[in-house]
Amino acid sequence: MNDFQKEVKDRIASNAQDERLKSDAAAFMRSSIASQYSYNFSWLGRPIIQYPQDMIAMQELIWSIQPDLIIETGIAHGGSLIFSASMLELNAACGGPQDASVLGVDIDIRPHNRQAIEAHPLYRRIEMIQGSSVAPEVVGQVRARATGRQRILVCLDSNHTHEHALAELKAYAPLVSVGSYCVVFDTVIEHLPGEMYPDRPWGPGNNPMSAVFEFLKEHPEFESDGQIDSQLLVSVAPRGYLRRRA
Ligand SMILES: C[S@@+](CC[C@H](N)C(=O)[O-])C[C@H]1O[C@@H](n2cnc3c(N)ncnc32)[C@H](O)[C@@H]1O
Determine the distance separating the centroid of ligand 1 and the alpha carbon of 4, expressed in angstroms. 39
Instruction: Report in angstroms the alpha-carbon separations of 232 from 53, 121, 209, 222.
Output: 6, 31, 17, 20
Tens digits of per-residue pLDDT, 59-118?
999 999 999 999 999 999 999 999 999 999 999 999 999 999 999 999 999 999 999 999
Q: Would the CB of 79 count as within 6 Å of ligand 1?
A: yes
Which among 240, 211, 51 is positioned nearest to 134, based on CA atoms? 211
Domain 3-244 in CATH 3.40.50.150: yes
- State in Å: Cα 109 to ligand 1 middle: 9
Phi, psi of 64 (to 5 degrees): -75, -30
Domain parsing of the chain, residue ranges: 3-244
Reported pTM: 0.98
State pLDDT tens for residues 191-209: 999 888 888 999 999 999 9
- CB of 152 within 6 A of ligand 1: the answer is no
Residue 50 CB less than 6 A away from ligand 1: yes
pLDDT tens digit sequence for 126-178: 999 999 999 999 999 999 999 999 999 999 999 999 999 999 999 999 999 99
Mutate to test the pocket of ligand 1, among 41, 46, 55, 75 (most ligand atoms within 8 A of CB): 75
